[in-house]
Structure 1
């Protein structure tokens, strides 16, 4: 179900790739606006393709389901994280590396993405079907993160530690982003990156908590 990621606009891309990118952007913008205005159920794929001025067949070449373009900001985030994790040298505590990758990715996505992410999360929380779709997407991201970590660390498939780290990563992200989104994204990606750092710092601190005997 994973949508292909939207890449940052880049004039170095071949013309055909730039056209595909513009089509993806137009469909994502149409979905975010129309789902917010009308609701998911009241908006059809035909409505989306009419707004973006593309064909229905083009829509399904770009996205696997009607819900997919509405979470494009989410897809951009995790696609960039996975790409960075594949390229970044790993040294020292892996949880720290995951924190740094996530913070750097958020910072690089920029102001326009931050606005879209806030709008996306507010829409997702208002639409149960989109919330479920996003949950399935994040589960897939966790699996891909775990596989990437196992590969980079040379660990066997039965080792559950990469899966634990992957789920800690998405949980840390949810905690960092939740209040920021609720407040309307104050301070932009700089503040969001700080919140990511705080959420990850709370992991070992939480594990050290003990109840009175």
Structure 2
């Protein structure tokens, strides 16, 4: 995580935890910054609000979520020979692999495996970014707050699973189409206003998410509501 603007978001999260320590009976929440291989393979931070382990991908602002699904061409040297290779975020490739593995067998069909993966991902994998809560003032200042948004839904809303982007990694064009079908299932079943089937084994997971309305940190820690503009 070399981006200084992302680093400022991470530092702000830790400051927020310390500032709110007395609201949580004086307990300092878990905060584990990930670096090196851990950062590349998993994400940026691990936190544990209210005994829930969250994996966090830090972004400076909502618009940077699209960076997650970009192909980057980098130079790689092997045995003295330099070649250009395609580099894609590992978390994004993992999400696509899960969607592919559990994709519905036919358009509109159900997929219990995909439902289970979505519930786990939506409960534990989020973006963290600065989110403006009011329009820009006449003096140019902008009020905002730190916000959390489920990784899977954020990437889906940004078109990261659109088949038109073509295959990523070792995928085939047919794989890319299956990922797109699975993404439609995710959006159709886990956004507000959609119908989510009951799951008696995981009643806490039976939640839908408001489109374009991320969580505030207060919501995660104190269940007090969402951010709005």
- Judge same fold: TM > 0.5, yes or no: no
Choose between structure 1 and 2 for higher RCO, CA contacts under 8 A separated by at least 6 residues: 1
Could you state the TM-score of these two structures normalised by the residue count of structure 2? 0.31
TM-score of the superposed pair, with normalisation by structure 1: 0.32
Question: Between Structure 1 and Structure 2, which shows a larger proportion of strand residues?
Answer: 2
